[in-house]
Structure 1
Amino acid sequence: MVADERMRGRFPAQDRAVVRPRSEDSDQDSAPRAGERIPGVPGFARWPQDRAAPRRQGKALRDRVPRSAHAALRVGPGRPDAVAAVAESSAGRLPELAPIRVGRMAATPFAFLRGTAGLMAFDLAETPVTGVGAQICGDAHAANFGLYGDAIGSLVMDINDFDETLVGPWEWDVKRLAASLVLAGREAGADEDTCRAAAYDATGAYRRTMRLLAKLPVLDAWNAIADEELVSHTDARDLVGTLERVAEKARRNTSARFAARATETVLDGEETAGVPRRRFTDAPPVLRRVPDAEAAAVATALGGYLETLPEDRLPLLARYAVHDVAFRVVGTGSVGMRSYVVLLLDHRGEPLVLQVKEARASALLPHVTKAGFAVPEPGHEGRRVVLGQKRMQVVSDILLGWTSVDGRPYQVRQFRNRKGSVDPAVLAADQIDDYGRMTGALLARAHAHSADPRLIAGYCGKGEEMDEAVAAFAVAYADRTEADHAALVAAVRSGRIAAELGV
């Protein structure tokens, strides 16, 4: 591939700041004088605060939306059938990849759920909502939690997929997690009581963690991490061995390892910044070379990506040169979206791989609006994904950013940043509830960054009424998903919809 100058050369040095608008409320003339009480500063709570007010407000919400109401599942009018929902969600994706996406979703009911966040949001919009908003994942199923590396080499456990993130009802994430645990447990061969217990325990861990966060000093609650007091009450001892094995694998899951497997040195090729040229090798349909013009467009778009990063990241990236771009199929629900990997090499030839992934409007958007939430215009879908991720995680990828390629929005992040995940569908029966408690606690921590934990804790309360209700919903929705999956499989067998299985 003959690359253009930006692709072949180093990232341009950035000598200008990214200008951020100053709030009109920050006028220095309004600054308080020494010793003066501050009755209300824009962006801050009024002082003195009524510490018990949010909890009382949350408790009062039970009069309008009883916790037991969350057990309800109603199939609303106009609900698309499984095949129509899959076809609708494929609009705007690369049509040649649609059979791969359908094949992956047809594998199991749990896989079907993973690819139908929009369909579940349609159903959730028919259920009672508290009206309390949070930055939600939007796709908080049990396989979207995992390990990844931070800037100092440690591994962090957290939610790790944010394609659908937006401000919406916190309980939607909890219900999606609970339903996914039932489906994963069934796929793993666990009995029905164990599957229901996983959903019940995940909701209970969410509720107890939110109560714990509500009691902590705000800064301690904000910075709570998974290996401290946050999850001490989840009793996930049976998972320890599994997590250790996943962590060991994650430490080896790096850009260097991926590049060693997926690239080759260009024989008799030119050098870039003194380093022999390398390029991706074709491995269709998952990884494929792209035409020069397409590769150059992606490489050129990295200039816009740099402008979305904090200035202290720019000297780091300026020490890398772009060597190649390839297209790579990712995920289950994401199949068909445009997604690229970009190979960068430093002066020693050591690789860094970036993923440049198309960012579409959240599949939850029309359903969240129907549920009464006013969602602000994101402006750029890649920006929505990146800011949503940063709002929910304690530690995020230091190279998260966004850009546009040929007018389409993309998110940019490190690829294979020591990522590791637990497959909940292969856990032993005595582990699925442990995993549910751990993920429930992590979800509560993520929501508490944007919603006051005192408010949600006040609503959920000390008792187990919320746990019982969500567990009942989870079992009912798992049954609904199995019926939808069966309809998709029947459509594949009859030829109504094309599927490429086992890819």
Structure 2
Amino acid sequence: MTDDRSGQDGGSGEGGRGEESGRSAESGQNGERGPGGEATAGGAARRLPPVAGFAVWRGDGQSPRQRGKALRKRVPRSVHAEPPRGDGRPDPVAAVERSNAGRLPELTPIRVGRMAAGPFSFMRGAAGLMAHDLTSTPVTGIGAQLCGDAHAANFGIYGDARGGLIIDLNDFDETVHGPWEWDVKRLAVSLVLAGREAGADEDTCRAAARDAVGAYRRTVRLLAKLPAADAWNAIADEELVSHTDAKDLVGTLERISEKARRNTSARYAARSTEPVPGERGSSGRPEARRFVDAPPVLRRVPDEEAAAVASSLAEYLGTLSEDRLPLLSRYEVHDVAFRVVGTGSVGTRSYVVLLLDHRGEPMVLQVKEARPSALLPHVAKAGFEVPDVTHEGRRVVLGQKRMQVVSDILLGWTTVRGRHYQVRQFRNRKGSVDPAALAADQMDDYGRMTGALLARAHAHSADPRLLAGYCGKGEELDEAVAAFAVAYADRTEADHSALVLAVRNGRIAAEMGV
């Protein structure tokens, strides 16, 4: 099995090491140069010893694109239309119950309620169930750093360090190295479900899935033709819409971008904190502030719990690049609160930390529990090596950095009371598209945009030449995955119906509308 691990540990190309990246330095017209720059006899190219972490010239005449193309004989692209086998499949309600293990029991009804809201929402909380199903489908053996939950709702806008806005994947709780096609299929299925929820007809839903795969395929082909550094940094935001022919989305993205610019720590702190009575602040010190209870989403925590979270930030600082430390040294930690997070993460422990600078300007950090990836046992069944994860927060942060062109400069990890957490900026000019609220004529545009983004993210860890060789020029893969998406969307709707019935029968508790 070909297991492409480029980018995992500083290596590049197929297998992480030993990938072809071109010829060794060739001699000039006057022959090979010696150690001092003098010409050597024979005129042959110098053959330096392989360097760990760099590509190696193989000289076998077979390019990554050719190897990708050869994979089609073993795994024809048409076989990706095959739905998962149903034998041994867990009951979907039991799968939800198992995924609630280890979460705060008082919050799991909120999670179940959000999943019960509709099939599109159900899928957001069922990454592990889908990964189980995908183990019975064909895989090429080409690996990439997976988002793990490449759901259509997990793409969005966020701010970079210089005030610009980036469009990219924005959820990496389940990130792991595994089969690239799993992310592609999950995206395609979620687009079908989003379209159905929005009231689009079946042709439109299928077209959105097909166009997402087509954009993925065309993007890896584009990246495969570029120099390595250009491919790594490809698809700047201002070029994205034109690259994917997503013109109908322009107005929507502009509105979301404008809203995202206002979605900052300062605005959140202004709404969610208050001055501390009796602590007006002294000369040269900001006024003390604290979070305000807003149950069930935001609640204050006991002093001991707040102190544990605050103390963990010392470990977090050790995970950052040293050039970030002077920035954070200009902020004082003022308060800690518990804040409920999104559908897939509800019930995990998540805190917001209020920092104030010398002028009283706030920055809010999120300290979010990082649990083992729900995909981990399933990628092993698909034939991929399971990494030895020493810290789940580190896994999430490194996976995110491996997939994004630009990441939050304050991404790091820490440990609180023996549990692993990731740390990041909260409300860093974030915005997102609700795919289920898009007009029918925008669904295919959104599919093309997200398909291109996913391809670019995968190309950081999987050689785009290898992917391009497999995906090819024709639409065979597009049609196959679209067929899979429609069939699996039907299965997800049935799973959702089973959960709704279980809620009605009292088998599992749900709190709706939270």
TM-score, length of structure 1 as denominator length: 0.92
How far 1:78 sits from its partner (Å)?
Answer: 2.4
How far 1:137 sits from its partner (Å)?
Answer: 0.2
How far 1:76 sits from its partner (Å)?
Answer: 3.7
- State yes or no: 1:54 paired with 2:64: yes
Give the conservation status (yes or no) of the 8 Å contact 1:38–1:46: no
The farther-off stretch of 69-78 and 290-299 is 69-78
1:275 match: secondary structure: coil
Amino acid at match of 2:368: K
How far 1:101 sits from its partner (Å)?
Answer: 0.3
- State yes or no: 1:96 paired with 2:102: no
1:87 match: secondary structure: helix
- Give the equivalent residue in structure 2 for 1:139: 149
- Give the equivalent residue in structure 2 for 1:487: 498
Distance (whole Å) between structure 1 residues aligned to residue 417 and residue 86 of structure 2: 39
2:107 match: secondary structure: helix
- Give the equivalent residue in structure 1 for 2:122: 112
1:407 equivalent among 418, 442, 446? 418
- State yes or no: 1:383 paired with 2:394: yes
Distance (whole Å) between structure 1 residues aligned to residue 377 and residue 281 of structure 2: 50
Matches within 5 A, 1:31-430: 33=35, 36-47=46-57, 53-227=63-237, 232-269=242-279, 271=281, 274-430=285-441
Distance (whole Å) between structure 1 residues aligned to residue 204 and residue 386 of structure 2: 37
Distance (whole Å) between structure 2 residues aligned to residue 52 and residue 350 of structure 1: 58
Give the conservation status (yes or no) of the 8 Å contact 2:241–2:250: no
Amino acid at match of 1:207: R
Give the conservation status (yes or no) of the 8 Å contact 1:111–1:332: yes
How far 1:37 sits from its partner (Å)?
Answer: 3.8
Distance (whole Å) between structure 1 residues aligned to residue 58 and residue 280 of structure 2: 67
Deviations 1:221-259 (A, max 9, x none): 001134355664411000000000000000000000000
2:178 match: secondary structure: strand
- State yes or no: 1:437 paired with 2:437: no
- Give the equivalent residue in structure 1 for 2:30: none
How far 1:53 sits from its partner (Å)?
Answer: 1.0
Amino acid at match of 2:66: R
2:106 match: secondary structure: helix
- Give the equivalent residue in structure 2 for 1:16: none
Give the conservation status (yes or no) of the 8 Å contact 2:241–2:247: no
Deviations 1:346-380 (A, max 9, x none): 00000000000000000000000010000211210
The farther-off stretch of 231-240 and 432-441 is 231-240
- State yes or no: 1:448 paired with 2:471: no
1:276 match: secondary structure: coil
Amino acid at match of 1:426: A
How far 1:261 sits from its partner (Å)?
Answer: 0.3
Give the conservation status (yes or no) of the 8 Å contact 2:217–2:471: yes
Distance (whole Å) between structure 2 residues aligned to residue 226 and residue 93 of structure 1: 38
1:95 match: secondary structure: coil
Give the conservation status (yes or no) of the 8 Å contact 2:168–2:404: yes
How far 1:477 sits from its partner (Å)?
Answer: 0.5
Distance (whole Å) between structure 1 residues aligned to residue 242 and residue 270 of structure 2: 39
- Give the equivalent residue in structure 2 for 1:464: 475
- Give the equivalent residue in structure 1 for 2:14: none
The farther-off stretch of 67-76 and 420-429 is 67-76
How far 1:399 sits from its partner (Å)?
Answer: 0.1
1:96 match: secondary structure: coil
How far 1:77 sits from its partner (Å)?
Answer: 2.7
Distance (whole Å) between structure 2 residues aligned to residue 392 and residue 50 of structure 1: 30
Flag structure 1 segments of 5+ consecutive residues without an equivalent.
1-19, 26-31
The farther-off stretch of 375-384 and 309-318 is 375-384
Distance (whole Å) between structure 2 residues aligned to residue 354 and residue 51 of structure 1: 51
Give the conservation status (yes or no) of the 8 Å contact 1:162–1:388: yes
1:324 match: secondary structure: strand
Give the conservation status (yes or no) of the 8 Å contact 1:194–1:433: yes
Amino acid at match of 1:266: V
Structure 1 residues 501 and 42 mapped into 2: Cα distance closer, same or farther (>3 Å)?
same
Distance (whole Å) between structure 1 residues aligned to residue 407 and residue 220 of structure 2: 21
Structure 1 residues 396 and 49 mapped into 2: Cα distance closer, same or farther (>3 Å)?
farther
Distance (whole Å) between structure 2 residues aligned to residue 55 and residue 355 of structure 1: 42
The farther-off stretch of 314-323 and 272-281 is 272-281
Deviations 1:386-412 (A, max 9, x none): 000000000000000000000100000
Give the conservation status (yes or no) of the 8 Å contact 2:392–2:421: yes
Structure 1 residues 89 and 260 mapped into 2: Cα distance closer, same or farther (>3 Å)?
same
Amino acid at match of 1:400: L
Distance (whole Å) between structure 2 residues aligned to residue 229 and residue 267 of structure 1: 50
Q: Name the Cα RMSD after superposition.
A: 1.8
Distance (whole Å) between structure 2 residues aligned to residue 34 and residue 304 of structure 1: 48
Distance (whole Å) between structure 1 residues aligned to residue 124 and residue 361 of structure 2: 35
Give the conservation status (yes or no) of the 8 Å contact 1:150–1:397: yes
- Give the equivalent residue in structure 2 for 1:5: none
Give the conservation status (yes or no) of the 8 Å contact 1:225–1:394: no
Give the conservation status (yes or no) of the 8 Å contact 2:312–2:415: yes
Amino acid at match of 1:383: R
Distance (whole Å) between structure 2 residues aligned to residue 343 and residue 448 of structure 1: 36
Flag structure 2 segments of 5+ consecutive residues without an equivalent.
1-8, 11-16, 18-33, 38-45
